[in-house]
């Protein structure tokens, strides 16, 4: 049984400010170690819960934040971008039985620590079939299309409350309480790792009993850009229809297709930074 561990950074214990998430910033170096520590906790728990193989997917920014020389040597690590399946690359492995989301954050415009959906620079909101979508709902939907359930999700209390209804039976672990976008009461890194290891062990042991809830397709996706200039740029992509000054819409045959379009728009946005 292979378990995929997808690790982001905004939901890691102790992380509250964008400087801690920016590759190359001095503060990010310590945050990367906390991120690697929580990944190791999930790895230990997954193996204790019955996994025979664990693949860790670095899922933040440029996807090269984890410290391979500090990772549990039993695990494999996936680094670098671009990737077709983004934050859940590896879920297409036929042996993959569950995805563990570690250190993830709440959707854009939600009251969580550093909340955003894919790109805080590019997207003010993303809606799928009229419902606000965060990264967990988007990538959980991709995993479901491969028949793989989300079995664990960790981050702040806003993220866990938002995500719990999406994945019935999955384990949620709160490592910090959000008091705003950049203020939290956090567990220590050690206490967070203990909680994640216990949650991952339980999640791996019960993943075979989890039910999938894929969204009916095709999907209607609405993207609200953070500026008119970005909306102008996104409108250059012919599969999008301009809905108003800031919003664009498209139809997606699968969630995998929707995520690929969103990631392409995020990449396009760099020309206006």
The predicted model scores a pTM of: 0.97
Question: What gap in Å lies between CA 194 and CA 98, rounded to an integer?
Answer: 20
Closest CA to 120 of 129, 130, 107, 132: 107
Q: In this predicted model, what pLDDT tens digit does every residue of 2-46 receive, in sequence order? A: 999 999 999 999 999 999 999 889 999 999 999 999 999 999 999
Mean pLDDT of 122-145: 98
Q: Residue 211's pLDDT band (boundaries 50, 70, 90)?
A: confident
Element (H, E) at 175: strand 171-178
CATH number of 2-107+134-209: 3.40.50.10780
Element (H, E) at 100: strand 96-104
Closest CA to 13 of 135, 173, 226, 243: 173
- Do 86 and 137 contact (CB within 8 A), yes or no? no
Give the residues across from 132 on adjacent strands: 127
Query: How would you classify the pairing of strands 131-132 and 123-128?
Result: antiparallel
Mean pLDDT of 144-164: 98
For the chain, which residues make up each domain, given as ranges? 2-107+134-209
Q: Residue 214's pLDDT band (boundaries 50, 70, 90)?
A: confident
Question: What gap in Å lies between CA 227 and CA 79, rounded to an integer?
Answer: 31
Q: How many percent of the chain have pLDDT more than 90?
A: 97
Question: What gap in Å lies between CA 99 and CA 149, rounded to an integer?
Answer: 6
| Confidence check: pLDDT of 110 > 90 | yes
């Amino acid at each position: 049984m292979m378990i995929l561990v997808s690790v982001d950074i905004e939901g890691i214990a102790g992380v509250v400010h964008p400087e801690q998430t920016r590759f190359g910033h001095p503060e990010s170096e310590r945050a990367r170690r906390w991120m690697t520590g929580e990944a190791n906790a999930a790895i230990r728990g997954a193996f204790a819960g019955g996994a025979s193989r664990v693949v860790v997917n670095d899922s933040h920014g440029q996807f090269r934040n984890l410290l391979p020389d500090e990772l549990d040597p039993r695990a494999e690590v996936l680094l670098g971008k671009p990737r077709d399946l983004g934050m859940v690359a590896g879920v297409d492995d036929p042996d993959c039985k569950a995805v563990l989301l570690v250190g993830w954050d709440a959707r854009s415009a939600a009251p969580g620590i550093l909340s955003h959906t894919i790109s805080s620079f590019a997207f003010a909101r993303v809606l799928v079939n009229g419902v606000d979508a965060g990264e967990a709902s988007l990538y959980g939907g991709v995993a479901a299309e491969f028949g793989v359930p989300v079995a664990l999700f960790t981050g702040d209390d806003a993220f866990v409350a938002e995500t719990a209804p999406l994945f019935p039976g999955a384990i949620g672990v709160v490592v910090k309480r959000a008091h705003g976008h950049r203020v939290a009461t956090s567990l220590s890194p050690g206490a967070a790792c203990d909680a994640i290891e216990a949650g991952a062990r339980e999640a791996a042991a019960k993943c075979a009993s989890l039910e999938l809830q894929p969204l009916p397709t095709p999907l209607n996706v609405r993207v609200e850009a953070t500026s008119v200039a970005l909306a102008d740029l996104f409108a250059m992509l012919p599969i999008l229809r301009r809905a108003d000054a800031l919003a664009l819409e498209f139809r997606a045959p699968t969630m995998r297709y929707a995520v690929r379009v969103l990631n392409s728009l995020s990449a396009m946005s760099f020309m206006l930074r």
